[in-house]
Amino acid sequence: MHPSQRFYSFEEDFRDPYSRDRDRVIHCSSFRRLEYKTQVFLNHEGDYFRTRLTHSLEVSQIARTLSRMLGLNETLAEVIALSHDLGHTPFGHVGGDELDRLLKADGRPLGFEHNFQSFRVLTKLEKRYKDFDGLNLTFATLEGVLKHSYPYKKPFLEGLDRRFDLDKHPSLEAMVVDHADEIAYTSHDIDDGVKYGLISFEDLLDNRLCQSVDQMVQKEGVERGEKLYRNRFVAGLIKILVEDFIENSKEGVNRYRAETPLSAALDASLPLPVGFSKEVGRGLKELKKVMYQKLYRHEKIIGKMYAGKQCIQALYRAFTEDEGLLPPHHRELLEVRLKQRVVADYIASMTDRSAMKRYHDLYGLTL
């Protein structure tokens, strides 16, 4: 049976379908490799920094809370959250951006995109069964990974199985994961950035949302100069965002359930039924602008990301010029897949440290 026919296949099991999906994801090799993939800071810089694995766990925790409070399927939200970053390359977003550029320059116009790569990991690149590729997950999980980030229509999704209707919103759980992702990375990037002196609370406290958090923390009796302040600030930010999202989404969830048949989905041209209030959403948008300017564009981060980009370039060049440098399994795949895509899949699967080690082995250099 072709894998595309197995999206609805639920063999007998003591677990419910989404619990089975979650277990298959947690036990796959791509999930384990997230431990050594960069979130924002290269993971060898310090033990405290978030990685793609800890980020995915934090998104999962927040998504479960949001789903529970809104009466949604908590386990479906959990597995989408745990799966949503499986397609990320080494060195964070810069690695994916560079791989996208290299593929397009090499005549592959669809390039590289990490959400679609996560979908490919789950349906094609993981090998756990003899007769077909992928993890044999439910349709709802796969749709949630593929479409958790709006807008859904992207060039590389043309020709996709029509069941993944890009003119329709995904499940409410997938929408929740998208917002849980935003809550998680905003809060933990502040935590990591402040701890390592790349951004300060003085940079943040002109923001209205951060001012509300600051007032909450100080009401607890924790002053800005105290060591505990950073921890309480991050917890307070998550609290405000989570509570606002829940309160502002209840009506939309109830209306969606009342007006949308179980077999249908909401037209993607219509607004999302869940989200933050206008005030909090505006404050969060302004906060992310500050973080981009002060944190993500910090010279220390730019320098490390530039080094990661050079690593991706060098590995891509080496593997495309000499196929013999690829592992045996990937050399076999060259018989059925385009070389550039096989090379990109191999590089995307690497961790930061395995990519740097291979770079050193090939070029005799360290980053």
179, 65 Cβ separation under 8 angstroms: no
**What gap in Å lies between CA 148 and CA 3, rounded to an integer?**
21
User: DSSP H helical segments within the chain, as ranges?
Assistant: 17-26, 29-33, 52-69, 74-83, 92-105, 114-120, 139-147, 172-195, 201-204, 208-219, 228-259, 278-291, 299-321, 328-333, 339-349, 352-363
Q: Which of 289, 286, 321, 63 is nearest to 173 (CA)?
A: 63
Report CA-CA distances (Å) from 293 to 198, 203, 229, 231, 287.
11, 10, 23, 23, 10
- pTM, entire model: 0.92
Q: How is residue 125 annotated by DSSP?
A: I
How many residues are given for the chain?
A: 367
**What gap in Å lies between CA 325 and CA 321, rounded to an integer?**
9
Least confident of 162-166, 242-246, 314-318: 162-166
Q: Quick one: what percent of the chain has pLDDT higher than 70?
A: 92
Write down the mean pLDDT value for the chain: 90
Q: Quick one: what percent of the chain has pLDDT higher than 90?
A: 76
**What gap in Å lies between CA 356 and CA 24, rounded to an integer?**
29
Q: Which residues 6+ apart lie within 8 Å of 43 measured at CB?
A: 36, 37, 49, 51, 352, 353
Domains of the chain, residue spans: 3-363
pLDDT digits (tens, 9 = 90+) for 134-144: 999 999 999 99
Least confident of 148-162, 217-231, 241-255, 291-305: 148-162
What mean pLDDT is predicted for residues 292-305? 91
3-state secondary structure of 168: strand
Q: Which of 54, 288, 280, 62 is nearest to 181 (CA)?
A: 62
Q: Residue 105 carries which side chain, given as an amino acid letter? A: A
**What gap in Å lies between CA 214 and CA 232, rounded to an integer?**
9
Between residues 80 and 130, which one has the greater pLDDT?
80
3-state secondary structure of 37: coil
Q: Which of 275, 344, 278, 286 is nearest to 88 (CA)?
A: 344
pLDDT at 164 over 90: no
3-state secondary structure of 274: coil
Q: Which of 161, 94, 69, 93 is nearest to 124 (CA)?
A: 161
Question: What phi, psi does 70 have (nearest 5°)?
Answer: -100, 5
Q: What is the domain class of 3-363 according to CATH?
A: mainly alpha
> What pLDDT shows up at residue 46?
53
Question: Which residues lie across from 133 on neighbouring strands?
Answer: none
* Largest interatomic CA distance in the chain: 65
pLDDT at 1 over 60: no
Q: What is the token pair recorded at 17?
A: 């379908």
> What pLDDT shows up at residue 49?
75
Least confident of 10-19, 48-57, 80-89, 269-278: 10-19
Cα dihedral 246/251/254/258 (nearest 10): -160
pLDDT digits (tens, 9 = 90+) for 187-205: 999 999 999 899 999 999 9
SS (H, E, C) 302-319: HHHHHHHHHHHHHHHHHH
What mean pLDDT is predicted for residues 44-61? 82
Cα dihedral across residues 158, 164, 169, 171: positive or negative: negative
pLDDT digits (tens, 9 = 90+) for 257-281: 887 765 567 787 888 899 999 999 9
pLDDT digits (tens, 9 = 90+) for 75-101: 999 999 999 999 999 999 999 999 999
pLDDT at 4 over 60: no
Q: Residue 8 carries which side chain, given as an amino acid letter? A: Y
126, 172 Cβ separation under 8 angstroms: no
